[in-house]
Amino acid sequence: MMLIQRLLPIVALTFGIAFAAQAADTTVRVISDRTPSHLEPLFEYYRTLTGVEIESAFVDKGLIARLQSRPTEADLIITKTADILEEAKQQRLLRPFDSSTIAAELPARFRDADDAYITLSYRPRVIFASKERVEPDSIETYADLTDPEWRGRICIRSGYHNYNLSLLSQMAEDQGLPAARAFIMGLHANLARRPKGNDRAQVRAIYEGECDLSLGNSYYMPIMLANPEQRAWGKATYLIFPNQESGGSYIMRGGAALTTANRNVPAATQLLEFLVSNAGQEFIVNTTFEYPVRDDVEMLDSLRALGNRQEGIEGGRFKANFIPLDAIAAHRDAIVTILDEVDFDSDR
């Protein structure tokens, strides 16, 4: 609520009081797989600013399947995993947007080439390491996780989870499928246990001494440090941004798109524009602990502290590898096949 009160007078001027009057008495239907608490304050703020009602539906998983089964349910889709927007595009579930505002304010690397979807925020998939048992300079790349030194010392969630499928597909595009295969096999050989749990469960396992390293999204560090019940997990580890001397860390992206069943294109497009505005980005960054897609939106202090043990990282800023989502999607099936061949999620 404090963020709403602080931003409202500013954006009422910069985003346009005329827009608020024009858009009043309209409704935009949104479906999302993001945590409701990440979006509901933003929707409340937008409603206060514009008078536009947001009808929201939240799903834990299966967002594309939901859209397929109920194609007329939503005007706009917001997801924590933008990779699935490329899948939705290929299935003709998305409607290209037409916005000079987005074209002018959002860098091309955050827009689909056909304007089918946009990236709203991003977070790197990083390495969590034990402060007690892993020296800061002992790992620099994802490939380092396959070194025999780490045999029986790595924990990870299911290889088939969207986050890991995205990372492995990015690796296949960046370094070639043979390199991705070698990584999968080497990583599997070094696992301390069967893949299970979420990203935070792996950090907890490091804290409890079950393993020394894990892969996870960067935002879990500030989330854990802010949670009294999980703070000890975060404090027992430090974060490594991999591949800083080459192409950069692979990233997970949150995104949004209009649906083909959109019954209110102008209002939905204006909401899309708001999501990439300064105010929209500040909301997203403050609730998700992700990196903004605008250079003029400040990072959170909790993000600036990330990577403070890593040489070359200052203020949490890292080199990201912005691989196009369509290129990532092209490798997904091949990655699943390799995971099957290795029996990646099997018991150790």
In terms of Cα–Cα distance, which of 291, 77, 250, 249 is closest to 166? 250
List, in sequence order, the alpha helices (H) in the chain: 2-14, 17-23, 36-50, 63-69, 83-90, 100-105, 162-175, 177-189, 199-207, 220-225, 231-235, 265-275, 278-288, 301-304, 325-329, 332-342
Q: Is 152 left (phi over 0), alpha (psi -120 to 50) or beta?
A: left
Under a CB-based contact definition with an 8 Å cutoff, are residues 236 and 213 in contact? no
Q: What is the pLDDT of residues 178-211, one digit of tens each?
A: 999 999 999 999 999 999 999 999 999 999 999 9
Residue 3 binned pLDDT confidence (cut-offs 50, 70, 90)? low
Annotated binding site for Fe cation: 219-220
Q: What is the pLDDT of residues 263-316, one digit of tens each?
A: 999 999 999 999 999 999 999 999 999 999 999 999 899 999 999 999 999 999
Q: What is the pTM of this model?
A: 0.91
* pLDDT of res. 347: 86
Mean pLDDT calculated for residue range 33-62:
93
> Is residue 152's pLDDT more than 70?
yes
Question: Scanning the structure block, which residue is given the tokens 């594309």?
Answer: 64
* pLDDT of res. 2: 52
- Mean pLDDT for the chain? 93
Annotated binding site: 219-220
Under a CB-based contact definition with an 8 Å cutoff, are residues 325 and 109 in contact? no
Residue 168 binned pLDDT confidence (cut-offs 50, 70, 90)? very high
> Is residue 232's pLDDT more than 60?
yes
Residue 18 binned pLDDT confidence (cut-offs 50, 70, 90)? very low
Under a CB-based contact definition with an 8 Å cutoff, are residues 177 and 339 in contact? no
Rounded to 10°, the helix 36-50/265-275 angle is 110
* pLDDT of res. 22: 52
Percent of the chain with pLDDT over 70: 93
Residue 10 binned pLDDT confidence (cut-offs 50, 70, 90)? very low
344 residue type, one letter? F
CA 23-33-119 angle, to 5 degrees, is 65
**Residue 200 or 18, more confident:** 200
> Is residue 16's pLDDT more than 50?
no
* pLDDT of res. 233: 99
> Is residue 346's pLDDT more than 60?
yes
Mean pLDDT calculated for residue range 334-346:
98
> Is residue 225's pLDDT more than 90?
yes
